[in-house]
């Protein structure tokens, strides 16, 4: 059984505009899948559907065997098991770094203060930011904030991690520090679905690459095949554009 | 003309003006600001909720309150609430509602309409991604609202909330229509009794000015301090 199973998902904004067209794919346990494609292709929307942050009108998504659209599904409980990292970090600016990491651990998982703090400290150490634990998010650089955001997601002991363009809002010199954390995570066997344009990251750790355009999944193939000879013309054009420089 | 001024009347009435009058004014201001903020926040949440009925009720309430003169609402409440109470409780006589309670309820209900608009703007100023991040961590609507949205909205809106409270501080003087002894009421009673209208009303104006002006200066200083770094 795949960890994330996406079956014929379609989504419309209003009656006319279809953002997702019949998307079907799956992510196995321990698999790293990179989703790429031109902007507006629906890749961010698709990944937000996986933890039900975006509703969709037809099709079905199962996470760890649980149907997202089943009315009896406890969505907050399910979301707590899926980590998500956003393009703009979305740390809570009114809370210190440690509080950012502890809030959901205590309120959702019911961990004690000590347990939550121990977990937070360990994870901050892991992303190399233990020295900043008592600062506010606004006092950190973009790269540091994104590493905190990854630590915040990991604090919930997720069964899978979703990344929505995690490096797109970063200055070039900060991209590496975030990718390093992600590469390490991938090598430890975390199940990951990553929307990104970082083809270097895809080459290094992805098992599969999904290419989307205009709301459709055009290619869904093992990494080497995808980078070797993309079958579709659209993927070829896309790759030549982003790999040109 | 200044030689005709009777400063002594001020001096003699100071204890009465402040102990009876000003304490009432400040108490009414503080309590109705607090009540108005709580009720206003609820109205704002109703207005922003997905449930259309709740939104319509809140919108109707806010529009009604903002279209009525405050003095009218004060009167309306003072004279009608005892009868409303009678109907609700089914007793034989009109319910006894003290002047302070009546004024407090009126100002709370009236200010709630204004605070709800402030809080609505504050809530809407929080980026949608913040809410998504809360949900993604498994927090419920209630938790996202109380731990992420409202603390930030309150902090962002604090200067506006305090400024509105300063306006409220001045507006509470309207309770004089109920012959309540607030600060202005006390000043006006002394003025009538001793025939010292000019002294007392000038002094009252000075006190309102000093307090309001000092408070808005404080708000400004606070504004610089509480801004959240993003």
Mean pLDDT of chain A: 94
Could you report the predicted ipTM of this complex, rounded to two decimals?
0.94
The most distant pair of C-alpha atoms in chain B lies apart, rounded to whole Å, by: 74
Per-residue pLDDT band for B87 (boundaries 50, 70, 90) equals confident
pLDDT of B149: 97
* Partner A contacted by B127 (CB < 8 A): yes
Q: Residues of chain A with pLDDT > 90: what percent?
A: 89
Strand order in the sheet with A160-164: A82-85, A160-164, A192-195, A32-36, A208-213, A216-222
Q: Is B202 exposed, middle or buried, given 0-12, 13-18 or 19+ CB atoms closer than 10 A?
A: middle
Query: Domains plus CATH for chain B?
Result: 2-226 (1.10.3720.10)
B230, closest residue in chain A (CA to CA)? A138
- A198: which 2 tokens? 């970082």
Cβ contact, residue pair A76, B138, below 8 Å: yes
Please determine, for residue B3, whether its predicted confidence score (pLDDT) is greater than 60: no
The whole-model pTM stands at: 0.88
Q: Which of A207, A52, A184, A67 is nearest to A126 (CA)?
A: A184
The C-alpha of A73 sits at a distance from chain B's nearest C-alpha, in angstroms, of 13
Does B142 contact A at CB distance below 8 Å? no
The rounded distance, in Å, linking the Cα atoms of B58 and B42 is: 9
Task: Record the tokens describing residue A49, joined without a space.
Answer: 């559907």
Which residues in chain B are contacts of A92 at CB distance < 8 A? 130, 133-134, 148, 152
| Three-state SS sequence of A18-70 | EEEEEEEEEECCCCEEEEECCCCCCHHHHHHHHCCCCCCCEEEEEECCEECCC
Spatial separation of the C-alpha atoms in residues A21 and A11, rounded to whole Å:
7
B133 touches chain A (CB under 8 A): yes
Distance from CA of B156 to the nearest CA of A (A): 10
Query: What residues of B are in contact with residue A82 (Cβ under 8 Å)?
Result: 136
Are B127 and A136 within 8 A, CB to CB?
A: no
Range of lowest pLDDT (A228-237, B56-65, B120-129): A228-237
Query: Residue B1 — pLDDT band, cuts 50, 70, 90?
Result: very low
Average pLDDT, chain B: 90
The candidate with the shortest Cα–Cα distance to B172, out of B40, B71, B61, B66, is: B71
Q: Do B138 and A104 touch (CB under 8 A)?
A: yes
Decide if B47 contacts B95 (C-beta within 8 A).
no
H or E, element range at A82: strand A82-85
**Contact: B229, A138; criterion CB under 8 Å:** yes
Confidence of residue B31 (pLDDT cuts 50, 70, 90): very high
Residues of A in contact with B139 (CB under 8 A): 76, 103-104, 107-108
pLDDT digits (tens, 9 = 90+) for A124-179: 999 999 999 999 999 999 999 999 999 999 999 999 999 999 999 999 889 999 99
Asked if A195 contacts A27 with a C-beta cutoff of 8 angstroms, the reply is no
CA distances from A183 to A26, A81, A164, B68, B105 (A): 21, 21, 15, 63, 60
Q: Is any Cβ of chain A less than 8 angstroms from the Cβ of B195? A: no
**Are the beta carbons of B130 and A136 separated by less than 8 Å?**
no
Would you call A169 an interface residue with chain B, using a CB distance cutoff of 8 Å? no
Burial class of residue A183 (count of CB atoms within 10 Å of its CB; 0-12, 13-18, 19+) = middle
Chain B residues whose CB is inside 8 A of the A68 CB are none
Chains A and B form CB pairs within 8 A to the count of: 72
| Cβ-nearest to A80 among B137, B147, B228 | B137
Inter-chain residue contact B133 with A90, CB threshold 8 Å: yes
B134-to-A84, A115, A176, B141, B144 alpha-carbon distances in Å: 10, 20, 27, 9, 6
Task: Give the chain A residue nearest B129 (alpha carbons).
Answer: A90
A27 phi/psi in degrees, rounded to 5 = -120, 120
Please, are residues B152 and B130 in contact by the beta-carbon 8 Å criterion?
yes
């Amino acid at each position: 059984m795949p960890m994330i199973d996406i079956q014929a998902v379609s989504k419309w904004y209003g009656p006319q505009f279809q953002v997702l067209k019949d998307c079907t794919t799956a992510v196995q346990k321990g698999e790293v899948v990179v989703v790429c494609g031109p902007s507006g292709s629906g890749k961010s929307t698709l990944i937000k559907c996986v933890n039900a942050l975006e509703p969709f009108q037809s099709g079905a998504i199962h996470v760890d065997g649980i149907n997202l659209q089943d009315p009896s599904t406890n969505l907050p409980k399910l979301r707590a098991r899926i980590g998500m990292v956003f393009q703009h970090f979305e740390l809570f600016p009114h809370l210190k770094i440690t509080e950012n990491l502890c809030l959901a651990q205590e309120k959702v998982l019911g961990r004690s203060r000590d347990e939550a703090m121990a977990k937070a400290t360990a994870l901050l150490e892991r992303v190399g930011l233990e020295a900043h634990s008592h600062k506010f998010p606004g006092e950190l650089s973009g790269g540091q904030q994104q590493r905190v955001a990854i630590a915040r997601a990991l604090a919930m002991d997720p069964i899978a991690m979703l990344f929505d363009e995690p490096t797109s809002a970063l200055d070039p010199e900060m991209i590496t520090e975030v990718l390093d954390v992600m590469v390490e995570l991938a090598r430890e066997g975390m199940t990951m679905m990553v929307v990104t344009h970082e083809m270097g990251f895809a080459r290094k750790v992805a098992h599969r690459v999904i290419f989307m355009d205009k709301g459709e999944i055009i290619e869904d193939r093992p990494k080497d095949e995808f980078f070797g000879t993309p079958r579709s013309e659209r993927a070829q054009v896309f790759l030549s554009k982003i790999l040109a420089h | 003309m200044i030689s005709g001024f009777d400063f002594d009347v001020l001096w003699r009435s100071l204890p009465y003006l402040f102990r009876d009058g000003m304490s009432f004014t400040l108490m009414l201001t503080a309590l109705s600001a607090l009540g108005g903020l709580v009720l206003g926040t609820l109205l704002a949440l109703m207005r922003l909720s997905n449930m259309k009925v709740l939104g319509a009720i809140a919108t109707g309430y806010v529009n009604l309150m903002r279209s009525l003169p405050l003095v009218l609402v004060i009167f309306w409440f003072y004279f009608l609430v005892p009868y409303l109470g009678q109907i609700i409780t089914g007793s034989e006589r009109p319910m006894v509602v003290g002047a302070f309670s009546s004024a407090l309820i009126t100002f709370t209900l009236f200010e709630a309409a204004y605070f709800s608009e402030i809080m609505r703007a504050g809530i809407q100023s929080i980026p949608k991604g913040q809410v998504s991040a809360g949900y993604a961590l498994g927090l419920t609507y209630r938790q996202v609202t109380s731990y992420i949205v409202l603390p930030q909205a309150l902090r962002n809106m604090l200067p506006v909330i305090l400024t509105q409270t300063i306006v409220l501080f001045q507006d509470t003087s309207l309770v004089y229509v109920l012959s309540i002894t607030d600060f202005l009421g006390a000043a006006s009673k002394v003025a009538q009794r001793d025939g010292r209208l000019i002294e007392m009303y000038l002094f009252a104006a000075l006190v309102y000015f000093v307090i309001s002006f000092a408070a808005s200066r404080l708000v400004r200083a606070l504004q610089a301090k509480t801004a959240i770094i993003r």
